[in-house]
Amino acid sequence: MGSDQQGNPVVDTSELLRVFGVLHDTTENQDTKGVRDANDPNILVISELESELHRVRDILRIREEELHKAEEREQWLRDLLARSQSQLQHDVKKNRPWWRFWE
């Protein structure tokens, strides 16, 4: 190990070859589908878009749950209204004088 003109430590490439051997390009044999290149300038944009997509999906899921709850509440209120109206109509028929038993 040595140092360059600025005093930074450097390792001679021949020493690397001696220790680790010759490096071979093995990308032809590997499946690189779905793997992003670290030097890709768009990787930051892609990761931001993916995180935004996750946030939007979470918001959509929450809104769908709220909509489902609102639909259940609306159905419950409609049923309550129908029961109340039928009771009111039934109560009107009961409020007659006692001597008019034939009605």
Global pTM value: 0.45
Q: Is the pLDDT of residue 68 over 60?
A: yes
Averaged pLDDT for residues 30-49: 72
Q: Is the pLDDT of residue 46 over 60?
A: yes
**Inter-residue contact 22 to 14 (CB < 8 Å):** no
Cα–Cα distance measured from residue 41 to residue 8, given in angstroms and rounded to the nearest whole number = 28
**Inter-residue contact 36 to 43 (CB < 8 Å):** yes
Residue of 68 and 44 predicted with greater confidence? 68
pLDDT at position 23 is 74
Tokens for 85?
């109206």
Averaged pLDDT for residues 55-77: 97
